[in-house]
Structures are given as C-alpha cells and as structure tokens.
Amino acid sequence: MSVVLIISAPSGSGKSTLARRLIETDSHLDFSTSVTTRQPRLGDEEGKSYRFVSEEDFLAMRDRNELLEWARVFGNYYGTSKEVLDSARRQGHDLLLDIDVQGAASLMKRLPEAVTVFILPPSPRELENRLRNRSSDSNEVIEHRLQEAAQEVANYGGYNYVLINDQIDETAEKLRSILVAERCRQQRMAGRTETVEQLRSIRIAERCKQERMADRIEPIVESFQAGTRI
C-alpha cells in the first residue's frame, strides 16, 4: 500500500522547497504535479512546478471527472489529477501532494488513509518577509495572502503532523522522518521490523504529531488571528 503524504501551508511558508528536497532524495516518492490556471512565475518549470493549463481546459478536466480535488485560490484554479495517484500506485511508489487547505480538506474525505502535514511559518512577520523577498507579487497581493494565512493556520488541527519552518534544514529532516515513520507503520502491519535508523525517524516523527506541538503552535496561530506582525 502506498503512502499518500499531503503537505499544506500558507503561501510563502516554504512547503514547495521542502517538497522538492524530499523528492530529490527519494526515488520511491513521486510528486503530484498540480494542474493550475495561474501564470507561471520565474523559476517555474512546466510539468515539474505545475502543469499550466487554460481555464477552459481546467474546467473541461473537472467536468470529465479527471480531478481528485480542485479549488479556486486567489482567482486561479488548482487541482490534482486522478492519473497521478493511479500511476504511483501501479509502480508501488508513495505520493507527495503539495496542496492548499481547501484541496487538502477535499482529499482527506476521499483518501482518509492519507498522512497530512501542516507547515507553519514561525511568525506573521517572518511570513511577510518571505513573501516580500520572493518579489513576485504586488503589495496588494501580499496583504491578501497574509489575510488568507490567518484563516489557513486555523486549520492545523485537522492535520496529523505540524512542522514550524524556522530552519529549513531541520524542517526538511523532520518531514523526511515523518515519511519514514509512516512507511514503517505499514511495514509493521506486514510483519517487518525496523532498523536503528528507522527507529530514530519514528521518534522524531512522534514529536511532530499535532497534539504534541500545541504549546509551540498556539502562540503562532494566535498572533496570526490577532494580526500581529511580530
């Protein structure tokens, strides 16, 4: 059985970087390239970052029931193709999905076995800095993204794991440990035992479970709700 790993985060939290790092180091993990109608940004690669399509083509895919989930975010459509999941399962690979909270909520209903990870920025101020340093959006868009982030972070309680992305290398290691731990859980069900390195990953993953992160998460979420740029 394949592990389906869903990661969500407010825009600018670093989830795309984390997803790329995980994919680059794991030949048995496929990346679900989302279909979108948004315009490509500097550095985007067709078929890797996203599959860019017209709104007409996207809506046709939706109407043909070719999408596992879809949502309209910041005026653009995003969706996940059913074929991506089917292909991973045929090859015996796991699948990583980098999707927004709307899409994740839809997928959780259709794939209740999915493993879900929410990535939090360390503070509203740090998120604002990252969005401005990205230099691809206007001030108006950045402010809108910050307002959306306040709503998105309130959804962390629906995820299995929560990571606070204050140090990218450390967060990447934790995300990797979560994947290893979930693979081990499936192997254990098949009667296999873990190696020492796998047990280390399991311990790291346990500390990242949402219910164990409450003391660190709540002040961050509260600062977003209050609109405090600290």
Architecture of domain 4-32+93-226 in this structure:
3-Layer(aba) Sandwich (3.40)
pLDDT given for residue 228 in this prediction: 62
Distance CA 95, CA 26 (A): 11
Q: Is the pTM of this model over 0.85?
A: yes
pLDDT at 71: 87
**Contacts (Cβ under 8 Å, ≥6 apart) of 214:** none
Largest separation between any pair of C-alpha atoms in the chain: 54
Q: Which residue has the tokens 């709700």?
A: 225
Integer CA distances (angstroms), 227 to 117, 120, 125, 141, 215, in order: 24, 15, 10, 16, 20
- From first to last of its 230 residues, the chain has per-residue pLDDT tens of 789 999 999 989 999 899 999 999 999 999 999 999 998 877 777 777 789 999 999 999 999 999 999 988 878 999 999 999 999 999 999 999 998 898 899 999 999 999 999 999 999 999 999 998 876 678 888 888 899 999 999 999 999 999 999 999 999 999 999 999 999 988 766 677 788 899 999 999 999 999 999 999 999 999 998 876 55
For residues 197 and 42, give the distance between their C-alpha atoms in angstroms, rounded to a whole number. Answer: 38
Terminal C-alpha separation, the chain: 43
- pLDDT, position 199: 93
Domain ranges for the chain: 4-32+93-226
Residue 135 has a pLDDT of: 64
